[in-house]
Amino acid sequence: MVGTSDEIILQTRGLTKDFKGFTAVSEVDLDVRRGSIHALIGPNGAGKTTCFNLLTKFLIPTRGTITYKGQDITQAKPADIARLGLVRSFQISAVFPHLTVLENVRIALQRKRGDNFDFWTSEAVLSALDAEAERLVEAVGLKDFVRHQAVELSYGRKRALEIATTLALDPEMMLLDEPMAGMGHEDVDRIAELIRRVSANRTILMVEHNLSVVASLSDRITVLARGKVLAEGDYATVSKDPRVIEAYIGAGHG
């Protein structure tokens, strides 16, 4: 795959998370190559979102280490993770409901200004970022909604907006938690195309239930079940693995 190198950008060793005796993530060793699209799949409750929360420091791991670009980030703070270029999206659509679509994206662009504590400055200075924000909004197909409040958007459009906001930070690595959930066919295709396009010069780790999307997009797949890594490899290998098929059927996925 073009742009994929042998360099490991994100690595976990023995990553474990216990919730009061229940182990949601157990001894996960993950290696994500720079420039790849890496999918994390598995039945409901497998621990995928928990994994994301651990990687982005929204949860503190019970055990294990996380290394990003050679740097141990196990103890880092979530806002600092973003500043290192590792930006996530959320499974439950995470927009700023009372900001407009444009403002949602602009909030991310605003980070480039450095610290935004200047309460005495008019927000008019932010209009310098409008053109870039509009370009991003257009890229996810929300051109007609630029001035709408995010709360007015349908679920699928909120997901699209969230991707635009994440992209606005131009992150080296993106973590997308079910980016296609709740979208119609055309939108799935559009967003898949967008992900492919933006993956050119970055790394993407993606949780996705839509297996055809996973098949067409990802370079490598890790299958998680009951918190453990069940299988890993490319789609052809993983989809034939009897343990994977069993885990999916066992969890009620046909």
Partner 1 sequence: MAEISIAAPPASPTEAADHAALHRTLFIALAALLVVLPFIPVIGYPFFLMKVLCFALFACAFNLMLGYGGLLSFGHAAYFGFASYVSAYTAKHWGLTPEASILLGTASGAILGLAFGSLAIRRQGIYFAMITLALAQMVYFFSLQTPRFTGGEDGIQAVPRNALLGVLPLSNDTVTYYLVAAIFMAGILLIYRIIHSPFGQVLKAIRDNEARAVSLGYRVNQYKLAVFVLSASLAGLAGATKAVAVQLASLTDVHWSMSGEVVLMTLVGGMGTVFGPIVGAAVIISMQNFLAGLGAWVTIVQGVIFVICVLVFREGIVGVIGKWLKKPL
- Positions that interact with Mg ion (CB under 5 A): 48-49, 91
> Among 35, 42, 61, 171, which residue sits at the site for ligand ATP (rule: CB under 6 A)?
42
User: In the complex with Mg ion, which residue's Cβ is closer, 53 or 218?
Assistant: 53
CB 95 within 8 A of CB 104: yes
In the set 12, 50, 93, 203, which binds ligand ATP (CB under 6 A)? 50
Q: In angstroms, what is the minimal distance from the CB of 240 to partner 1?
A: 28
Q: How far is the CB of 82 from partner 1 (least distance, A)?
A: 3
- What's the longest Cα–Cα distance across the chain? 62
Q: How many CB atoms lie within 10 A of CB 185?
A: 7
Residue 59 binds to partner 1 (criterion: CB under 8 A): no
Instruction: Kindly indicate which of the ranges 40-48, 72-80, 94-102, 107-115 contains the residues binding ligand ATP, using the contact rule CB under 6 A.
Output: 40-48
**Piece of 37-45, 148-156, 214-222, 244-252 that binds ligand ATP (CB under 6 A):** 37-45
47 binds ligand ATP (CB under 6 A): yes
When CB distances are held under 5 to 8 angstroms depending on the partner's kind, the choice from ligand ATP, partner 1, Mg ion, none that residue 46 binds is: ligand ATP
Are 16 and 63 in contact, with CB atoms under 8 Å apart?
yes
Q: Which residues partner with 10 through β-bridges?
A: 32, 68
Neighbours of 102 (CB within 10 A): 22
Burial of 251 (0-12, 13-18, 19+ CB in 10 A): middle
User: Nearest CA to 87 among 116, 52, 138, 41?
Assistant: 52
Contact residues: ligand ATP, CB under 6 A = 19, 24, 42, 44-50, 91
